[in-house]
Amino acid sequence: MKRLLTLILIFLLIVPVFCVTAAAASADFTVEDGVLIAYSGDAADITIPSEVYRIADGVFENNTAIKSVTVPSSVTEIGDRAFSGCSSLSSVKGGEQVYTIGVFAFDGTPYLTLSQDEFLTLGKALLWYNGDESEVTLPDGIAAIAPYAFLRCQTLRSFSANSGLSVIGEGAFYECTHLSSLSIPQSVKFIDAYAFSGTPYQAQAGEYVILGDGILIAYNGISSEVSVPHLARVIAPRAFYENTQLTSVKIPSSVYSIGKQAFAQCTSLSSLSLSAGLVHIGEEAFLNCKKLKELSLPQTLSLVDKGAFLNCTGLEELSLCGKSLAVSYGSFAYCTSLRVVLMSADVASIYDKAFDKCQSLKAVSVSDETVKISASAFEECPLFTLSASKNSFAASALSRVSSLDSVKGDSDRDHVLSVLDATTIQKYMASLKPLTDEGKAAADIDYDGYVTVMDATRIQKILAHMV
């Protein structure tokens, strides 16, 4: 017996003991349409599922259990704060195709703070610069500079990049207080907000600061009336943010995109001229521009992004046209003075809450070709009427808008304001056709308590865009 115990003891001493680290199970990941939106596990080592192309904002934020992450080649985007606060995360493997990295994606991780690499890269993106050189040339193969990659790098005086770089993230060189020399190639197509804020270069670059492929990143002038130069092709996010002296802006045909919050909080802006050539107006681009009264959008426009004109409370008239134009969520929400909206044949889609709480909105003329109108597009617009030709795509779309049960003027209750409603009222006045109580309430478009020939006349004027 003693011999057996001795053999067991010897076996335990000479056979190595392997420590097994828990790995994440596939059930711990919630993936929707290729986007990883949640993680419920507590494993130390995780491998992102191969069907993921984007890791959403904050998915692993403050997860202190994670020590290593393997990122498959399918992933191209890592969202804001995705791994922020993961205080045990020291290893990130793979990620060869990562191109976009969000703000503070790895903030507070040993992977970032303990790295000894001069250029810490992940896939095609430069995540962080650890060096202390005064002159820096970006290595070949880097396509994007992540947000705040050179944050407050006080030794940096000169920076250059070769062609191949295409994106410079938010605040990339923020408060590099000695950076006075820049060489940015034309391959750069996007520069996010505050990329060079607090640098001598931006402060001394002249009235209009234009970099890369015609990207206007800042305005250093003092004039209240601005004509954007034709050298500009893109107006970067927040380029004119909170410029409260600005009263007039003319944007030339060379500009095809206006970035997120580019003119937000320009509370004195009362005149805006947009030229043909413009394709995209970014999120909240004109947020709280409360003195804008009239707006005409060019026919080249394809997208009015989320909240683009949110809370422009002075806006009264809007002419919408564009190239298969999509009007996004809340684009004109809270435009409380907006009375009339005219839409051309090229407006294709009007999405959720696009005109939410436009409480003065009375007349909306919808193009016959408009094929998608969200049920909440005109939510809480108590006075408005909509018009479209009978049997058109728009009429079919309007029939699905929930608030149309109370559309004024719709005397025949077919959910569409048309010439037939005026005819129905005329027949009713001549005792040739009865009206239901709901039809009578809808027919009283002038709110005088009666159904009269004046109601029929007003409907005809609305359809002719005379009111």
pLDDT tens-digit map of 12-45: 444 444 444 456 678 899 999 999 999 999 999 9
Task: Tell me: do 423 and 346 sit in the same domain.
Answer: no
What CATH number corresponds to the domain at position 457? Answer: 1.10.1330.10
Task: Tell me: do 92 and 30 sit in the same domain.
Answer: yes
Lowest mean pLDDT among 123-127, 129-133, 363-367: 363-367
Phi, psi of 400 (to 5 degrees): -95, -5
* Tens of pLDDT, residues 251-302: 999 999 999 999 999 999 999 999 999 999 999 999 999 999 989 899 899 9
* Tens of pLDDT, residues 342-379: 877 678 888 889 999 998 988 777 766 666 788 788 88
Phi, psi of 104 (to 5 degrees): 55, 35
- For 112: left if phi > 0, alpha if psi spans -120 to 50, otherwise beta; the answer is alpha
- Res. 429 pLDDT band, cuts 50 70 90: confident
Asked if the model's pLDDT at residue 463 lies above 80, the reply is no
Lowest mean pLDDT among 32-36, 103-107, 241-245, 416-420: 416-420
Whether 245 is covered by a domain: the verdict is: no
Task: Tell me: do 437 and 372 sit in the same domain.
Answer: no
Say which residue the tokens 């001069």 belong to.
Answer: 118
Residue of 315, 262, 310 whose CA lies nearest to 287? 310
What is the pLDDT averaged over residues 446-459? 78
Whether 226 is covered by a domain: the verdict is: no
Task: Tell me: do 427 and 375 sit in the same domain.
Answer: no
Residue of 305, 254, 302 whose CA lies nearest to 275? 254
**Type and span of the H or E element at 420:** helix 419-429
Whether 375 is covered by a domain: the verdict is: yes
What range defines the domain where residue 425 resides?
A: 408-467
Asked if the model's pLDDT at residue 207 lies above 70, the reply is yes
Whether 176 is covered by a domain: the verdict is: no
Which pLDDT value is given to residue 370? Answer: 66
Task: Tell me: do 88 and 71 sit in the same domain.
Answer: yes
* Triad 291, 297, 303: Cα angle to 5°: 110
Task: Tell me: do 452 and 397 sit in the same domain.
Answer: no
Please count the other Cβ atoms lying within 10 Å of the Cβ belonging to residue 66.
Answer: 23
CA 5 vs CA 2, 8, 13, 351: distances in Å = 5, 5, 13, 77
Asked if the model's pLDDT at residue 217 lies above 60, the reply is yes
Please count the other Cβ atoms lying within 10 Å of the Cβ belonging to residue 260.
Answer: 21
Measure the CA–CA gap between 40 and 63, rounded to whole angstroms. Answer: 10
- For 136: left if phi > 0, alpha if psi spans -120 to 50, otherwise beta; the answer is beta
Q: How many domains are contained in the chain?
A: 3
* Tens of pLDDT, residues 158-175: 999 989 999 999 999 999
Measure the CA–CA gap between 421 and 417, rounded to whole angstroms. Answer: 7
Domain boundary pick from 384, 407, 430? 407
Q: Taking a C-beta distance cutoff of 8 angstroms, is the pair 253, 277 a contact?
A: yes
Task: Tell me: do 419 and 403 sit in the same domain.
Answer: no
Which pLDDT value is given to residue 14? Answer: 43
143 token code pair: 């396509």
Asked if the model's pLDDT at residue 11 lies above 60, the reply is no
- Res. 389 pLDDT band, cuts 50 70 90: low
DSSP secondary structure string for all residues of 106-148: TTT-HHHHT---SEEEETTEEEEE----SEEEPPTT--EE-TT
Asked if the model's pLDDT at residue 147 lies above 80, the reply is yes
Parallel, antiparallel or unpaired: strands 294-296 and 100-101: unpaired
3-state helix, strand, coil split of the chain in percent (to 5) is: 15, 25, 65
Which pLDDT value is given to residue 458? Answer: 76
Asked if the model's pLDDT at residue 10 lies above 60, the reply is no
Asked if the model's pLDDT at residue 139 lies above 80, the reply is yes
